[in-house]
Amino acid sequence: MTGPRYTKLIESLPATVPFVGPEEQERRAGRPFAARLGANENGFGPSPRAIAAMAAAAGEVWKYGDSTSFELRAAIAEHHGVAVENVLVGEGIDGLLGYLCRLVIEPGDAVVTSDGAYPTFNYHVAGFGGVLHKVPYVADREDPQSLIATAAETQAKLVYIANPDNPMGTHHPREAIEAMIEAVPEGTLMVLDEAYVEFAPEGTEARIAADDPRVIRMRTFSKAHGMAGARVGYALAAPGLIAAFDKIRNHFGMCRISQEGALAALQDKTWQAYMRLLVAGARDRITTIAQENGLSALPSATNFVAIDSGQDGEFARAVLAELGARGIFVRMPFVAPQDRCIRVSVGPDAELDAFAAALPDALAAARAKLSR
């Protein structure tokens, strides 16, 4: 009896996933985490109006969601001052990145990103046979000039940058991103991941014409709107590119409950302003916790904070393991020298209290382990 006949590409890929989720880690440990601060979720949760809208929509969950997400797209278009034809809604930025790679990447095509940047993008590129070319961070920030130069050298189909950045939380001013777009090589599409831009300082969001064919912008309801579990992301791009997604996307991939929740969240401006205050306060608290333990925190334009361990990646991994053993879920960058840091998501006071209580012992245990 034979199994499925996989493609040569699939046979060549390792059996990996970008992240091991907290639920899987809890199952392995045999107990729940006391603080869930590793997945860059928004622990403050969604707008009460969004919760009410999702609850009301639950009674109609027997229906498929609108295959075009028209009402949500229209609201997003109004929010950004663009046409509905400039907006695509999909299953989170992760899902949209997968569709984009399916749309433009063939085996052997060059794709440029930063070494240590968002790994799910790399996962999708590899899954469609693309060849990744990576440039290093500079001063814990992605390097727009090197990204563009490498894209030109390799004749890349895609060049990816996140602003603000994950996993470091750093950001570039809008002028740097706008200059990058002006320098995009002919035939290259720039992927601008703006998952965290709602948390960034004024002047971070780039001014981009909706019909600019050189760039596609990715946004999400997972972060600022606190709806990571609903899986709602959207893209802003020229109408021709948006329309091309209809050839390959899952037309009924969006849940009706998620569509209604996102629509209500987008309309609740008061909650959005309140959320920015909550996130800013939690970032300050994480920075203070770091300082109280002799560590430094990188300035963050996101809903997480990268804390410099003061040593190398081996030490940071030891700290991460010790925090996990104490019921605290956090993550860290994968690539040196950024892997000297641990990355802590914002959350309610009780979860940050648990992190603050566990960190001194975790640091002491990590130092003791590595000094043997």
> Over 90: is that where the pLDDT of 70 sits?
yes
In which order are the strands placed within the sheet that holds 110-114? Answer: 87-90, 233-236, 215-220, 189-193, 158-162, 110-114, 131-135
* Average per-residue pLDDT for the chain: 96
Q: Considering the domain boundaries, does residue 8 fall inside one?
A: no
Domain finish residue from 227, 248, 267: 267
Q: Considering the domain boundaries, does residue 6 fall inside one?
A: no
> Over 90: is that where the pLDDT of 238 sits?
yes
Domain finish residue from 239, 267, 295: 267
Q: Which residues contact 367 (CB under 8 A, 6 or more apart)?
A: 315
At 362, which CATH number? 3.90.1150.10
> Over 80: is that where the pLDDT of 372 sits?
no
List Cα–Cα distances, 363 to 79, 267, 276, 308, in angstroms: 45, 43, 30, 12
76 and 202 co-located in one domain:
yes
Contact 236, 216 (CB under 8 A): yes
| pLDDT at res. 15 | 81
Domain finish residue from 241, 267, 293: 267
End-to-end CA gap in the chain: 53
108 and 248 co-located in one domain:
yes
Residue range 210-230: average pLDDT?
A: 97
At 88, which CATH number? 3.40.640.10
| pLDDT at res. 115 | 97
**Tokens 């989720």, residue located:** 21
CA 151 to mean position of chain CA atoms: 22
147 and 277 co-located in one domain:
no
Q: How sure is the predictor about 20, in pLDDT bands with cuts at 50, 70 and 90? A: confident
Among candidate residues 337, 340, 358, 223, the one with its CA nearest the CA of residue 289:
358
Beta-carbon count within 10 A of 63 CB:
9
Measured distance CA(186)–CA(136) in Å, rounded: 23
Q: What is the pLDDT of residues 167-195, one digit of tens each?
A: 999 999 999 999 999 999 999 999 999 99
List Cα–Cα distances, 251 to 90, 91, 248, in angstroms: 9, 11, 9
17 vs 309: which has the higher pLDDT: 309
Q: Considering the domain boundaries, does residue 1 fall inside one?
A: no
Measured distance CA(335)–CA(322) in Å, rounded: 20
> Over 90: is that where the pLDDT of 2 sits?
no
Q: Considering the domain boundaries, does residue 126 fall inside one?
A: yes
Residue range 40-45: average pLDDT?
A: 96
197 and 303 co-located in one domain:
no
Q: Considering the domain boundaries, does residue 157 fall inside one?
A: yes
Q: Considering the domain boundaries, does residue 117 fall inside one?
A: yes
Tell me which residue range forms the domain holding 294. 18-45+270-371
Beta-carbon count within 10 A of 372 CB:
4
Count up the domains in the chain and report the number.
Answer: 2
Q: Considering the domain boundaries, does residue 66 fall inside one?
A: yes
